[in-house]
Structure 1
Amino acid sequence: YKALSKETRGVLRGEYGAAPAAFNPELQARALDGDEPVTCRPADLIDDEMDSLISEVETLASEKGLQLADGKRRVDDVLTYALFTQIGLRFLEHRGDASAFEPAPDGKALPAAGNSDGVYTVEVEGREYTVKVSDGGDVTGIKALGESAGAGQPNPPVVHNPSQSTPIPAPLAGNIFKVLVKPGDRVTEGQKIMVLEAMKMETDVSSPEAGIVTEMAVKEGDAVTVGQTLISLEPAHG
């Protein structure tokens, strides 16, 4: 519980109803952050957002030139945006353009260049590997591109940091949902600098130390891998 996601905080705050057992008091106090826990029916505290969401989506559609569905089907577009926001908006922007999305799998083996059928190139956290899949589904011959099989684990990617500032890495893979700082900002140790979304869970990213933001390596909507640099900090003087 070093980092509490928005949803975990919601459980501890009582936003999902009563829990089957008592919470750890210290952990719940962290989630409440001075507020009182929810003891009423949680849904009674939620505003009716449908009208405002419809207006928001229609405004975005006008600004970006999006074609929304007609009639009753328009609510599907609104719910897509409400549930997924960034990814949903990207879908609405490129709907009908198959080239903007991953191709549908056709069940055929796609061999890597210069290799036989059953040899694939896969990417894991920014590193590319070649794998050979047998007819029985066994995976053999795993190796990083440019390395010999059995040569050991690949070295982690080197983060280019020309300013020699301290890079702040992503704690998990996901999408940058919200950026809360900009170059030149002073941040304190533990200050929230970003919100990262992964599998519909929003996780706060806090600065591990105090300093001045010298570089922004990502922006809202970017996909990041574990350990990828988010921002760079230099010590604050004075």
Structure 2
Amino acid sequence: MNIKKELENSLPTNLKFTEKEKASIRYQVQRLSYTAKFKFKSVILAVFFITIASFFVLSMTLPNLIEENALNDRIIGNTTHSSGETFESFFHRKMKEMHQDEENFTYSLVHTEMNAVHKDDMIAVFKERNSHSEEKIYIAYIEKEGSQWEWKRTRGAEWDSPVKWSSMDKIPYIYSGAIRDNSIVEVYAGDEKAIIIDIVNDKRFWYVISPVKDVQVKMVKKDGTEEVIKSLNFEE
């Protein structure tokens, strides 16, 4: 667009001006043309710098936004969508369902081991008590099938019971028991060494995941002596 020519062409042709007036008009036209061009270039430069600045800000913040959205998707997926409910939510819901008619029932989850045998499975050790019984301790094997947790098997023990240990009769073979003897330092089911959990005071609980069914269970004491323990087939 030629602003100078448009301004000159817009003047009436039938008017007569002196040379001085014509020179003044030309000066004003040139000044207006220069001002318009300067403003136009200034606008273009301003738009250019704003675009560059916006691109720079976007390049700095976009990766963080993408990472934040991905994290939110993982959290949502882990709790409500693609992966179903969390293990903790499932465990507490199932405990309330299984004991909803019991009076003065209490329980506490004392130990968990995720991916114990394979991916997406869980070992849960928990205590429970109601108004009609002594405190018991249990071990449960729980697997995730698809997006849902499934409670597979449970074994339990009492602190002062003559029953020293019990085992699950299906794969995975999990041996477990309660002990109150502080002289016991190790427990083995076959060649597998037990995980021993301190519960409270002298109360402890142990378990072993074994690939073999019907193995010998032995306890090792501080003085190095070993004692083979027979099961009395306590089951829940």
The normalised TM-score by structure 1 is 0.23
Larger Rg: 2
Higher relative contact order (CA 8 A, sep 6+): 1
Would you tell me which structure has more strand in proportion to its own residues? Answer: 2
